[in-house]
Structure 1
């Protein structure tokens, strides 16, 4: 007989890993499938001396249960890192240590099955016990595993976004930033490397290459589409846009209002960490002391429209959009820090595209509790952690808010409060619906 679970998780990144950790301390019966053989978080971007953009409290469990054994503080305690962290006096966590923390948590969870790719999910919406049948394939053997679940949580994450006209080139020449460390050796052998992008990943790659730029004949270029290198808005009241209170407000807006709100929140979503910008400026200042040549070009307001292969490298077709000036630029290697797009599996589009409601193309309708809207009164739910920016705002990709999201999901599955839902999380009041004049 096929085993019935309360919930099956599809994909194990930080979001579903946090869900698995919180569920491990409940009576809920869960299994999580992940296609990779072990947990690893953005392996191509674990650049040394680079920190997370959120404080250490935004771990997998603290916002739901500070007493959990899966908190970052307990990780430090168990690994004899408490005193070094205390003396370090830094609120943010190095990326490499955060990855080690995630692996430490994953190693304690028996509910995760690594090396299993979900290839199908079938909705059984009739009969006395509606459920989902999940089919996973074991990578090593090709063996298929069948399980049943009352609920499903899809956490299939994002995949690299490579724009049209920039794909199809050798991996060691035109590289998405997600593969940066894997191809770094090839980049350092080049005489000219161009980084394309305006966000944190672009600056981290550019700064790391600048630190390694030892040869006098190596040139580095950075093209950013934005009007400049603008820092992340870390003001206290601006950060309240990541609170549950603001998510409540945002979710109740119309789609057009949400799109407009996302535009106004770009400094919170797309900005660069101030410490990274300071490091870059300081490095350039010291590099040019005494009249030395920087061997660096930083060009904002430039959109790379297309990449063309030529003898000895690549020709970038560019446009300075403010001056409306088109030009070409030669480079031996190119790093595309062009971001990511939601990864929606093929089986989802096959099985569920016509069953769920959509707000717009590629934007399915999601309830406040992160359930896909089927338009019926089903009590077996399909939750999603993927593709939520349009429905839940800038906080959809925030590590701290992911714990709050998991609290919503766990309580909905359990049908009762297993974890406290934080209330009154903002000093600001966003909606006039709740306005009262005292």
Structure 2
């Protein structure tokens, strides 16, 4: 059944770390007594908060400092910081004694769940936004809100919500190699742990992992350590894993000031940002993981029991399944020849595509302006540029790499980004837009 329409200042589509950080920013904006209350509702397709759950491998660490949490860079005194979480959990002293800037991915996920528990009244899970529609505006009045239809994935009931601003944060989209589809024996890294736990490990003798980035290397290490009887083939287009540049000057690319430099830069300078600094995050691996894998391969050689195979300068041309076997046809860049590899499981750690909001925006999409290359025009406050007939705010948390640079979909700048969006929403409100929800 469709319920009576509700009105909110902000409707967030998706509730991962980005929109969780926005919820924190809106809460702290109000706690400072900054004007009238800003009402917000968030809708998430998953049944609970989940951030790369299938890559929460034992001992896998974050690649950013714990200080780059939901709030600290915007508000060091925040009650939602990672330090506040550690204090609440009674582990602050122990964490400090670790003398490590990088918590495990599991602990950071626990932190996100701890912060999320303060916003249970503002988020609805198992809820999918099915349409965004423009209201039937009277006369020539500009549109100052949109109608958002939300479907409950469990009951299949619908809920109609009016939003003065929407913030889209549906996350990255898993990318598979061209021509390869996922099934019970062929996975993307985004579903790794869930599928891995269902395997009969005693029956698995050969595993292949495609990719040369952090996820690929971590999966190779994990499978090697977890199934001692299996051989693991690491398939990569490069000669070997490339180290992630996390040195101080390179890391400045993720500073808030760097977003201004990128946004206001020329096309040539933006190209330079990517060309020179892509190795800070994309297709690279932490030094510790690289050394771990090399040591394992060396130990295998010493023992005369090689289980770890690095198939470098190779790409997967095609995949064919016969019963429980997966046959890969590989193309070697080294000698331009093809060869076959039979495995029990193929795992594609082949990355993600950026969030693409076009379909999600529905009727709003035709009112959003685009640049000469057909990409959305995005203002500095992460708001889509719209035509004169639309005054409601449409904000993106992701999908803005072409305007805001390398950190657009990463945690590095999450606190500042969410704060800028919250400030923009508050500053753009007109007197008649005060919340009635």
> Aligned pair 1:7/2:10, yes or no?
yes
Structure with the bigger percentage of strand = 1
Alignment of 1:32-111 (within 5 A): 32-109=42-119, 110-111=121-122
Partner-residue secondary structure (3-state), 1:304 = strand
Structure 1 residue 285 corresponds to structure 2 residue 301: no
The match for 1:30 among 40, 48, 65 is 40
Aligned-pair CA distance for 1:240: 0.9
Correspondences of 1:2-401 after superposition (within 5 Å): 2-25=5-28, 26=30, 27-109=37-119, 110-124=121-135, 127=141, 130-167=144-181, 170-171=183-184, 173-185=185-197, 186=199, 188=201, 189-215=203-229, 218-255=230-267, 258-259=270-271, 261-270=273-282, 271-289=284-302, 291-310=303-322, 312-344=324-356, 347-348=359-360, 350-359=362-371, 363-376=375-388, 378-401=390-413
Structure 1: which 5+ runs fail to align? 417-438
Is contact 2:148–2:161 with CA below 8 Å preserved after alignment? Answer: yes
| Distance change (3 Å), C-alpha of 1:141 and 1:346 | farther
What SS does the corresponding residue of 1:352 show, helix, strand or coil?
helix
> Could you tell me how far apart the structure 2 residues matched to 1:220 and 1:276 are?
16
2:33 alignment counterpart: none
- Aligned partners of 1:259 and 1:390 also within 8 Å: no
Q: Which runs of 5+ in 2 are unaligned?
A: 31-36, 429-437
Deviates more, 1:150-159 or 1:384-393: 384-393
Determine if contact 1:63/1:400 at 8 Å carries over to the other structure.
Answer: no
RMSD: 2.3
Counterpart-to-counterpart distance in 2, 1:206 and 1:104:
31
Distance 2:334 2:70 in 1: 43
Q: Distance in 2 between matches of 1:411 and 1:322?
A: 53
Q: CA offset at residue 98 of structure 1?
A: 0.9
Q: What SS does structure 2 have at the residue aligned with 1:24?
A: helix
Give the conservation status (yes or no) of the 8 Å contact 2:168–2:357.
no
Counterpart residue number, 1:430: none
Give CA-to-partner distance per residue, 1:7-28, whole Å, 9 cap, x none: 1100001101110112123232
Greater mean alpha carbon deviation, residues 259-268 or residues 366-375: 259-268
Q: d(CA) in 2 for partners of 1:166 and 1:245?
A: 40
Q: Aligned residues, how many? A: 412
TM-score, normalisation: structure 1: 0.88
Contact 2:328 2:342 in 1 (8 A): yes
> Conserved in 2, the CA contact under 8 Å of 1:52 and 1:94?
yes
CA–CA distance in structure 2, aligned partners of residues 253 and 357 of structure 1:
20
Residues 1:256 and 1:161: Cα distance change in structure 2 (over 3 Å)? farther
**1:84-140 superposed Cα distances (whole Å, 9 cap, x missing partner):** 212222110111111111111111112112222111112347637611111111223
**Does the aligned pair in 2 maintain the 1:187–1:193 contact within 8 Å?**
no
Counterparts of 2:13 and 2:66 in 1: how far apart (Å)? 26
Q: Which has the higher contact order (CA 8 A, sep 6+)?
A: 2
| Cα distance in 1 for residues equivalent to 2:271 and 2:239 | 21
Deviation at 1:31, TM superposition (A): 0.9
* TM-score, L = length of structure 2: 0.88
Do 1:10 and 1:33's aligned partners in 2 also have CA atoms closer than 8 Å?
A: yes
The answer as to whether partners of 1:7 and 1:149 remain within 8 angstroms in 2 is: yes
